[in-house]
Amino acid sequence: MERKELSIATKRAVAAVRSLVIDMTNKANSGHPGMALDATPAMVALFRDHLVADPEHPAWENRDRFVLSSGHVSALLYSMLHVSGYALRMDDLKAFRQLGSLTPGHPEVGLTPGVDATSGPLGQGIAQAVGMAIAEEAVRASGKDRSTFFGHRTYCLCGDGCLQEGIGAEAIALAGHLRLSNLILLVDLNGSTLDGPTSDSNTENVRLRFLAEEWDVIDVKNGDSVDAMSRAIEKAKKNIASPTAILFHTTIGIGSKNAGSHKTHGSPLGEEDGAFAKASFGYNEPPFTVEEAVYDLFRETFAKRGKEAFSRYEQAKKDFAKNHADDARVFDDSFSRNLVPYLPSIRDFSGVSKEATRVSSGLFLERLHASMPFCIGGSADVAGSTKTTVKGSSVFTPENREGRDIHFGIREFAMACAVNGMALHGGLVPYCATFFVFSDYCKPALRMAAMEKIPSVFLFTHDSLAVGEDGATHEPIEQLAGLRAIPNLSVIRPADAKETEGAWRLALESKETPTAIILSRQNLPVLPSTSETKVSLGAYAVREEESPTIELLASGSEVSLALSAAEILHEKGIVARVLSVPSFDLLRRSLRRGETVFALPRENRFSLEMASTFGWAEFAAHPIGIDEYGLSGKDKEVLAHFGFTPEKVAYAIVSVLKEGK
Amino acid sequence: MERKELSIATKRAVAAVRSLVIDMTNKANSGHPGMALDATPAMVALFRDHLVADPEHPAWENRDRFVLSSGHVSALLYSMLHVSGYALRMDDLKAFRQLGSLTPGHPEVGLTPGVDATSGPLGQGIAQAVGMAIAEEAVRASGKDRSTFFGHRTYCLCGDGCLQEGIGAEAIALAGHLRLSNLILLVDLNGSTLDGPTSDSNTENVRLRFLAEEWDVIDVKNGDSVDAMSRAIEKAKKNIASPTAILFHTTIGIGSKNAGSHKTHGSPLGEEDGAFAKASFGYNEPPFTVEEAVYDLFRETFAKRGKEAFSRYEQAKKDFAKNHADDARVFDDSFSRNLVPYLPSIRDFSGVSKEATRVSSGLFLERLHASMPFCIGGSADVAGSTKTTVKGSSVFTPENREGRDIHFGIREFAMACAVNGMALHGGLVPYCATFFVFSDYCKPALRMAAMEKIPSVFLFTHDSLAVGEDGATHEPIEQLAGLRAIPNLSVIRPADAKETEGAWRLALESKETPTAIILSRQNLPVLPSTSETKVSLGAYAVREEESPTIELLASGSEVSLALSAAEILHEKGIVARVLSVPSFDLLRRSLRRGETVFALPRENRFSLEMASTFGWAEFAAHPIGIDEYGLSGKDKEVLAHFGFTPEKVAYAIVSVLKEGK
């Protein structure tokens, strides 16, 4: 296109996209036009001149990633995807926010072509983008000469909300520290949040804040100018030393009668103001109309650039494969999640009499790192305690992108979101770890992983009262119940070293479900009757009895406790069949399949767990647990205080049986 | 004391406190000496010269507050409290981290005299301190001339960990925005975290970061100097325009052979290194020995100052009461939580046929603000949606400390922590609000409130799939189960306007339990059979039947749905007794009291909730709910899709009954 032609088409494109936003939100009578309208020029600049992606191959592994962190302005993203050639038809836009559409209220990865991450819960988009940027560096560095064909950028658009959220701050600090120069954050400063002017709740110096976190900052005073935005992005792309934040100033709800006011944030403009706004853009087409010139613009810029890049990539990858056949296979396997060839052989447990399951996990990780060059992870400053410092692996730093040990800092939430971003990016098997009580800090990321249907692995150690001296603040009580209630999250609490091996293998087998593995701080006996493979049943007998009086269900460290209690009960003439129940979700799956798991009806079942009893009633009429906060003290004393000794458990069961009959 | 004498005693005090830290952690064979050792001079400076508190009246409402945000260095706080005259004996220090002691692993408010907040989960201490600073301003401003007797500072000590956490960032931004000049944050930059040098995971410019958030910053290069620290605090106290961060540089584990290394962070020094360190301090006393000169120092400085201040306060308050008898009474009532005189009269619900419970809550708040001058709260930028913009109340700003509407910004976690800080401070009835799905973002603060036994009120609106168009990311599923599992948190989900009134009143009656009230976005019919007062039962019949076939339990918006389903079932010859179950915790309390709640055994009970079924098995054998994520669409269509119509619910029940028999 000629320069003048380009300029005219661009102006029409901005107007067309804005009009689509107005039409979509009006038709749905729902949605957030405000920032969608003001950020349109930024998006047009990005798509027209910079973003490298092929709308015909939306899953291309080397595409630039784009995350709309302010997911509530989804109408803008959908409109952009539509005009730039993705398989998102006008009818899809018309069905905005309607049941069964490809255009839900907030972007959902896996549903809509071109959407790289689910977003909406504010701040998480930035953190997922940071994970993608880490992933790009890690994938590129993890084989010799991979940079001959692989390398891309991650863009993220956010507003004030994402910046105010703590998760935004954590992610920004992490990205700055790791010097992720492949990350460009477009920060829309429209001066408004849902309740009013941003200044009502935030008066920070955004520029200074990014500088403090070691970012480069580019200010764009006129964020309404496509060309100004494009120049800023061009400049940001040249920065090879740090991530770049482009702070662009806009007017929320531009074009509307309420332009500049938070009133345009959360409600459609309506027919009248919509028409007013469209007129101000000089866009007089009927609703849901895009001129051919607008499609042409993106066809000749974005789509053409993407198609060519895709072809070049295909060729470059072929060339790479000629000289690096093995690594090319590893690369493909990593992206297609063909993990079987990279699994370590099953450990020989003979001679292991006891081991903390966090140690068992650490030993598995060591073997996994050795056999699977694309597994990567780390912890939130508790690597020594969570046993995620892997012998032979180096730290991922700006100077050492081959490192597969990530120091996330004391940022549990950003850590978990970054792992999600890495999983979304593909090419890696990412995991992270912290103390179980701090799963609370990253819970929203676990939900996000479950919604995104990605196989992130979350390790949580120090899983009970047995934490001991650290006391109530550090002793998980309700966390198991909380995680078990999350749909599509597999929660596994292994009873010993063998079950830990099984839990990790299930996590790696999973393709659409994240896994939380809950591990002990203290040593646990390796039990003769446990099994790596039976973990997948969710529950199985570890003490079989022909004619049991009761069944005793337990998980994790309480399985050995249950077995000891069963011995005592036996002496009292009570025959207890004991089940290890590593996972509620896997147990339910077994029951749905019609497996025979239980020998007795629910009324005769007891459960035993050093955690809230909440949720156990589904499987056992008589739950034994702890429905209050823990105490600081020597672990054994704390456990005894709350009744978690074989004698006290046996006594509690006998009491119930006496009362009941 | 003479200057020279003071200097000698101070040096001995630092050595004595450090030696106590070494002895405590050694004896417990557990704990975190590193920062405790390096931050001792800062604490000695604070206690010797600045902190205004009377160890004989640790609950004095006008004391300066002190929050140890890095709760893992509790040994330092306990040692300081001991030497400065609090009722914490040497035997208590010897029992550090032991079962039943006053000196648990992390500080616990309510347990140990002189401990103003529970801390340990990093970052929350800062945010609670921010809440206390808000409270001080609000209490002082909420009556004429209160500043004649009331006014104090809040100090907070933190390390790198609290700064890295997102909650730290949120709290710092909020404090800067609100210009809380009564807040002084002592930031210990010892350059080390648990896993290694801070620079491994964080390289931000801390100074710049605070400046960006509108704080004043004072650097203390030699954080090992009591006098340098004291001068810095003195300077900070003079700042009346903004909060102040004192960044003081120290050497972690100072005195130890491993001084400067993270090795001193999480493990006791042991006998040998402990003796080495004590020798380096020139402290050759036997373990757990404090020279009389050290006690004398704090007796003549800290305790004397506090005692005098307390006396002055008592007199000033008496003088105040002479001229402001009414407000003096209000002041005392607010601190003793004597709320009954300030409760609004019960609303007349006649003529109200339907109302969203978020609206009912907003209307209650309006009457509450009118009758209770010390209730204060706000939302995380969703005041319009959560109905927390109270007519007639103004916004709490630096210029308007009388405002009782707080704009917390898009900072759910800091908001909830700040409310906890306000509740801990006393003199206020604080609440906050956000969308229910974002309870995930502040869950750790709910746990903290429950552990602290404070009556914070958390409002969560938009409580189900009925959110509709915003889709899966914004539709709570597992949140109800997650909150219900938290010990000592009362979770109430009212069925209509009347139950909302009841829920609020229970929250205000509570003294040691925080309350989460879960509210609907959509209109709900005001039911003839619901009751404000029966909410306290946790469950009660809203459709009574003499000979029911089944019982149907529901909460919130599903109570009216259950009643409609019961009508349909009736036509089919199935007699359903319907119960409103606003609260599991209150229901359990009723059952423990022996109340007759149910008419049929569990096997004949169904539950109905547009949420995860997790946890319902405790009360009903047949839970109807949703154990997957929601969808974006018109609310009615989404509900119908997942089976939440009277017809589909009735059908589901009939199906179970057919199968079962």
Note if A532 is an active site residue.
no
Is the CB of A173 less than 8 angstroms away from the CB of B161? Answer: no
Nearest CA distance, B276 vs chain A (angstrom)? 25
Residues 381-440 of B with CB under 8 A from A: 381-385, 395, 407-414, 437-438, 440
Q: Provide the ipTM.
A: 0.97
A275-294, pLDDT tens digit by residue? 999 999 999 999 999 999 99
Q: For B196, left (φ over 0), alpha (ψ -120 to 50), or beta? A: left
Residues 351-380 of A with CB under 8 A from B: 379
Contact criterion met (CB below 8 Å) for B362 and B370: no
Q: Tell me, yes or no, if A177 comes closer than 8 A to chain B by beta carbon.
A: yes
Rounded CA gap, A72 and A120, in Å? 6
- Does the structure show a pLDDT above 60 at A661? no
Residues 487-526 of A with CB under 8 A from B: 487-488
Q: What is the pLDDT of residue B656?
A: 97
* Mean pLDDT of the region B455-472: 97
Residue A660 banded pLDDT, cuts 50, 70, 90: confident
Residues 100-119 of A with CB under 8 A from B: 100-101, 104-106, 108, 118-119
Q: Tell me, yes or no, if A617 comes closer than 8 A to chain B by beta carbon.
A: yes
Residue B194 banded pLDDT, cuts 50, 70, 90: confident
Q: Which residue has the tokens 């319902």?
A: B616
- Does the structure show a pLDDT above 60 at B384? yes
- Chain B residues near residue A209 by CB distance under 8 angstroms: 209, 212-213
Q: Tell me, yes or no, if A633 comes closer than 8 A to chain B by beta carbon.
A: yes
* Mean pLDDT of the region B86-112: 98
Is the CB of B637 less than 8 angstroms away from the CB of A99? Answer: yes
Q: Tell me, yes or no, if B268 comes closer than 8 A to chain A by beta carbon.
A: no
Rounded CA gap, A547 and A562, in Å? 18
- Chain A residues near residue B161 by CB distance under 8 angstroms: 381, 410
Is the CB of B471 less than 8 angstroms away from the CB of A444? Answer: no
pTM of the model: 0.98
CB pairs under 8 A between A and B: 336
**What kind and span of H or E run contains B132?**
helix B124-141
Q: What is the pLDDT of residue A204?
A: 94
Mean pLDDT of chain A: 97
**Burial category of A270 from C-beta neighbours within 10 Å (exposed 0-12, middle 13-18, buried 19 and up):** middle
Q: What is the pLDDT of residue B605?
A: 98
Q: Which residue has the tokens 């309740």?
A: A195
Q: Tell me, yes or no, if B125 comes closer than 8 A to chain A by beta carbon.
A: no
* Mean pLDDT of the region B262-276: 93
Kindly name the residue from A170, A412, A499, A609 that is annotated as catalytic: A412
% of chain A beyond a pLDDT of 90? 96
- Does the structure show a pLDDT above 60 at A401? yes
Taking CA–CA distances from A198, the nearest residue in chain B reads B409
Rounded CA gap, A621 and A623, in Å? 6
Among B30, B438, B617, beta carbon nearest to A469: B30
Is the CB of A167 less than 8 angstroms away from the CB of B167? Answer: no
% of chain B beyond a pLDDT of 70? 100
Is the CB of B470 less than 8 angstroms away from the CB of A120? Answer: yes
Q: What is the pLDDT of residue A2?
A: 83
**Burial category of B401 from C-beta neighbours within 10 Å (exposed 0-12, middle 13-18, buried 19 and up):** middle
- Does the structure show a pLDDT above 90 at A97? yes
Taking CA–CA distances from A630, the nearest residue in chain B reads B451
Residue B195 banded pLDDT, cuts 50, 70, 90: confident
B118 vs B203 pLDDT, higher one:
B118
Q: What is the pLDDT of residue B661?
A: 53
% of chain A beyond a pLDDT of 70? 100
Is the CB of B617 less than 8 angstroms away from the CB of A614? Answer: no
Q: Tell me, yes or no, if A205 comes closer than 8 A to chain B by beta carbon.
A: yes
Closest CA to B72 of B277, B266, B269: B266
Rounded CA gap, B655 and A508, in Å? 38
Is the CB of A473 less than 8 angstroms away from the CB of B118? Answer: yes
Is the CB of A105 less than 8 angstroms away from the CB of B206? Answer: no
Among A97, A193, A472, beta carbon nearest to B381: A193
Among B119, B214, B266, beta carbon nearest to A204: B214
Is the CB of A632 less than 8 angstroms away from the CB of B481? Answer: no
* Mean pLDDT of the region A242-251: 98
- Chain B residues near residue A408 by CB distance under 8 angstroms: 201
B569-610, pLDDT tens digit by residue? 999 999 999 999 999 999 999 999 999 999 999 999 999 999
Nearest CA distance, A53 vs chain B (angstrom)? 26
In 3-state terms chain A splits into helix, strand, coil percentages (rounded to 5) of 50, 15, 40
The catalytic residues of B are: 412
Q: Where are the alpha helices (DSSP H) in B428-544?
A: 439-452, 479-484, 497-509
Rounded CA gap, A234 and A250, in Å? 19
- Chain A residues near residue B121 by CB distance under 8 angstroms: 437-438, 440-441, 473
* Mean pLDDT of the region B526-537: 98
Among B120, B121, B384, beta carbon nearest to A195: B384
A461-487, pLDDT tens digit by residue? 999 999 999 999 999 999 999 999 999
